[in-house]
Amino acid sequence: MRGKLTPNAPLAPLLWFKTGGAAEWLFEPKDADDLAQFLAALDPSVPVMALGLGSNLIVRDGGVPGVVVRLGKAFAQVERTGDMILRCGAGASGILVSSTARDAGIGGLEFLRSIPGTVGGFVRMNGGAYGREVKDVLIDCDVVLRDGSRRTLALADLHYTYRHSELPEGAIVIAATFTGSPAEPAAIQAEMDRIAASREASQPLRSKTGGSTFKNPEGHKAWELVDQAGCRGLQIGGAQVSEKHTNFLINTGTATSADIEVLGEEVRARVKAQSGVALEWEIQRIGDNKPSPVELRSPAAQGRGLGEGNVTDG
């Protein structure tokens, strides 16, 4: 193991909401080989999840058991590998991908500029905005499976639907290949500027938020249903439904993750009562509901591999 392993690692500073408990263990791998070797040596009973930019995620106040894997700079590279093809590390942001595409004259990826996350996250969730989704531009993705083995999955293997994929259980996306179509860089930049201006005007980008909270139900827009149910500005504790865009929940400064999740459930209940539509969460919610001490045990003690000690770095 060449990466950094930290026990009882606070996750709130890494998340857009700035709330939530600690990871039992936080692992930041040096590279893909390091990640694969780490997972191969880790007891299969230890839960593992990946963390990108920390958007579209609620970490509950009791923290996250097992290992949270955070992909750093080694996974944030984007390069042109073909005429209209980009190879992107899972840690690369949507802004970096779309900007690299612009410089290469590759159109059709501008929408990625508006997705608040990394390649790994929006490949997993079939992220989309402004009329396009990842399924429209993805060729394939590379993953490390829970046992440390690697696979390349074609677009068809993911069985994409709206904000959902069928990635193997426990798989961590480490890279993806996207394709687009020829376009002038100036035209690409103009579309990116339009998207950025639209987001700035309509979304609470300068608040502590998690992005779109609920999926758009068939035939409806989630924000309209929330607004019609009278939830604009609704507040529980330090959590509030955004006045600017009602499909965003925000941390006004004192919220706990419990405040945010309870508010979301209250919104769901009011929308159901008003319209009969059951909203589905788009934001992923993980961890334990109630605060509890994180047991500082080494997963190695369960069987195989992390080694003893508090922090491993280098």
The catalytic residues are 163, 212, 282
Helices (H), 175-311: 185-202, 222-228, 257-275
How far is residue 86's CA from residue 38's CA, in Å, rounded to a whole number? Answer: 28
How far is residue 31's CA from residue 150's CA, in Å, rounded to a whole number? Answer: 13
**Where are the strands (E) in 11-159, listed by range?**
22-28, 48-51, 57-59, 64-70, 78-82, 85-89, 106-107, 128-129, 132-133, 138-144, 150-154
Q: What is the DSSP string of 39-52?
A: HHHS-TTS-EEEES
10 Å Cβ neighbour count for 176? 25
> What does each C-alpha distance from 227 to 4, 203, 216, 224, 246 come to in angstroms?
45, 14, 13, 5, 6
> What does each C-alpha distance from 247 to 84, 166, 211, 286 come to in angstroms?
35, 25, 8, 20
Residue 96 is inside which H or E element, if any? helix 94-103
Length in residues, the chain: 314
Which residues, other chains included, contact 152 with Cβ-Cβ below 8 Å and sequence gap of 6+? 140, 141, 142, 143
- Is the sign of the CA dihedral 110, 181, 82, 123 positive or negative? positive
Contact 107, 188 (CB under 8 A): yes
Name 64's bridge partners.
Answer: 23
